[in-house]
Amino acid sequence: MSSVTLQNVTKIYGGGALKAVKDLSFEVEDGEFLVLVGPSGCGKSTALRMIAGLEEISDGGVWIGDEFVNDMHPKDRDIAMVFQSYALYPHMSVYDNIAFPLQIAKMSRQETEKRVQEAARVLELENYLKRKPGQLSGGQRQRVAMGRAIVRQPSAFLMDEPLSNLDAKLRVQMRAEIAGLQRRLGTTTIYVTHDQVEAMTMGDRVALMKDGVLQQIDSPSNIYNKPCNMFVAAFIGSPTMNMYWADLESGANDSARLIFGDNTLTVPASIVAEHKQLSRYRGKRVVLGIRPEDIADAREQTEPAPGDEIVKGKVDLVEALGSDINVHLNLNAQPAVVTSSDSLQDLHANEGDGARCIARFTAKSQVRYGDNVQLRFDAERLHLFDGETGEAIT
């Protein structure tokens, strides 16, 4: 097992016309599970392929352990890769598919048998070793692909969207199996996905990319609760974070007020004190963000909310999810939208009749389509962003 280090890694296509990856730097510690996540085309798979040696590195360096591997052939990098497609040999048995990389390496028959049987035991494939891939389910085939990687006992696993071909129920099962397997083996793993749920549930850390640039690398909890900019805040979380343009003004007793549309929120002095940069934004427009689960139906609150913390909305849609419900509302406010532009001006204001708001209420809520609802925003869970750069105000 080894660490994996990227230092200012860049990938350029078309003679400089396209930078797929730009100055990417991070270190994956020995035994760590890192998830690279981002929208399609953000450069995450290209980064993984450069680590594997399947893409030439235009600039920067990659180390596996203490070894510089830029010019090293893929087969000499001591890594095992699991692809989106299972890439199994249909004419070979499960046993032979798993054993294939060991046979190519001319490993002894005794050691090959030992490793294949151990991998089959770990992956619960012992009863399927004589079957052909065509006789297996999608989840079983993915286990075979995992087994083929495991038997090599590599320094690192590289996984490129290995669950994307599975149905939703099987993906949930397999992501738990892969995460559990990685913990048992303790092998350094870099896992690429566009699925934020996979990223948040599997990784020790999450690295979020956009347009070839690393936006934030942190624990799943910090990525969710302390996003460094609007893009991270909007990408992570389902439903996505609600964002509105707001005017920041001084309030009584060192508090602050956020005015958006015909709504006003009080930011308590304790919260203002935690955000050291906030004082620089008084009298300016900022972006207010709040997640759906931090919005409550004021009618269900045991204590009445202060008048200036009530936000009014009209229900457009109710989605019953069993354990809770997603309520889509229309507010008198101006939404702030993250665009796909690579410039710092990642924000633009949408003019219109109002702004969409999604709140997550308890399953006991009696809210119905067309209701006029009073909402309570949790002031301690607000997110504030610079209106020009989209960076979080800390």
Sheet holding 18-28: strands in order across?
18-28, 4-13, 59-64, 67-68
Q: Are strands 324-331 and 336-338 parallel, antiparallel or unpaired?
A: unpaired
Q: Residue 169 has what pLDDT?
A: 86
Report pLDDT for 340. Answer: 54
> Does residue 71 register a pLDDT over 70?
yes
Give the per-residue pLDDT at 348: 53
Residue 11 has pLDDT above 60, yes or no: yes
Q: Between 340 and 160, whose confidence is greater?
A: 160
Residue 339 has, within 13 A of its CA and on its CB side, a CA count of: 12
pLDDT at residue 354, as a whole number: 81
Judged by DSSP in three states, 267 sits in: strand
Mean pLDDT estimate for the chain: 91
At 302, list the tokens.
Answer: 């045991």
56 touches 70 (CB < 8 A):
no
| Position 347, amino acid | L
Instruction: Give the span between the Cα atoms of 120 and 330, in whole angstroms.
Output: 54
Of residues 157 and 17, more confidence is placed in 157
**H-helix segments, the chain:** 44-52, 94-104, 109-122, 138-150, 168-185, 196-202, 220-225, 230-235, 269-274
pLDDT for res 352: 53
Place of tokens 């009618």: 299
pLDDT computed for residue 343 by the predictor: 41
Hey, what are 322's tokens?
A: 């069993």
Nearest to 187 by CA among 64, 276, 72, 103: 64
Domains of the chain: 4-235 (3.40.50.300), 242-386 (2.40.50.140)
Separation between Cα atoms, residue 203 and residue 35, nearest integer Å: 5
For the record, the structure tokens of 17 come out as: 């016309």
Q: Give residue 83's pLDDT.
A: 87
SS3 category, 69: coil
Range scoring the smallest mean pLDDT among 173-182, 195-204, 207-216, 332-341: 332-341
The pLDDT tens digits for 276-316 are 999 899 999 999 999 999 999 988 766 654 445 789 999 99
Region 259-267: mean pLDDT is 93
Confidence of residue 344 (pLDDT cuts 50, 70, 90): very low
153, 154, 155, 159 alpha-carbon torsion, rounded to 10°: -120
pLDDT, residue 58, reads 96
